[in-house]
Structure 1
Amino acid sequence: MIAMALALEPEIVIMDEPTTALDVVMQRQILRKLVALREELGFSVVFITHDISLLIEFSDRIAIMYGGRIVEEAGAAEIYRDPRHPYSDGLLHSFPALHGPRRELTGIPGSPPHLTAMPTGCAFHPRCGKAFDPCAEHVPVLAAPDGADGADERTVACWLHHAAPAPSVAGPAPEPAGDASAARSG
């Protein structure tokens, strides 16, 4: 399949779970060959997978998606060393690392949302162990984390890394002051 995709010398190859159900030895062989072909032929790859450990060595940048939205985007090494979104962290701890120290596999509790019945606020909040009030009410914006310097090219959509919006205060709407079309000068 990969050979057929490369026959027309594309600039971009999109690979959706290309190594699913393969043993780790075969996965490594395919990725090594793909890296060599990418360097030789000069194409880019959009690699779609749940197995982040495959992407760490293969990718320059990784975008983590949940519920149809990007929730974190950064360099591959940055996401591996310091995932900022709880879903990114959960994905990293759901697969055994191919290199480095052993770590406990924890998985992600619950089930993904149905895309026609998304929860309010952050789509991940029903499964997130770090969720707090604004997560259920407001969709976080994908932006640089608070306190990031200009050199950090990371973006994350999580209230843990952005100032949460002020809670809305329920109550009667204020009375309009006079004619709505009147101009005020001071």
Structure 2
Amino acid sequence: MIRDTSHSFGWISILLHWSSAITTLFLFGLGIYLTSYGYYSPDYLEIAHLHYALGMILLAVVAVRLLWRLSSKTPASLSKKLPIKISVFLTKFLLYSFLVAILVSGYFICTAEGQSIAVFNLVQIPSFILLDTPQLNAAGLTHKYLAWALFGLVILHAGAALVHHFKGDKTLMRMIKPQKASDKEAN
């Protein structure tokens, strides 16, 4: 099953979800490493350029993912409880919002002085706007603090998925492999 249905995510949504999740966590770890690493260390720029390139790839994946979500059927919630439905909606909204803001602020940081971003020497992402020092500092703080907020939200999201899983519903399994209509399980 490639496309989403009213009861299950399809392979496209699943692959977009997990590729975004893994890349986001890798970039978070790489960002932590870079901030603890000395700027004048021998391979700092190589690691930084990996961070920039992966960030631009993730931005493209997130854009595709948002377009897919807007054009594809969303599986119905397994919960019938309104507070849970609201918390799921808010969590997804914040995950997407924080991720987009982190990626856009990262782009602004990298291109603040007019330089482009080389994505593995295959594509150059040009600078569209120059930032002065206060704007660059604001982008840096946005990038840093939203990354930590996103990390906390990801832990909450993963923890909730595990709680649902161990309570016996199919919330987590729906994001691991497409479910047949007979596999549908509601709370």
Larger strand percent: 1
Larger helix percent: 2
Superposition TM-score, scaled by structure 2 size: 0.20
Superposition TM-score, scaled by structure 1 size: 0.20
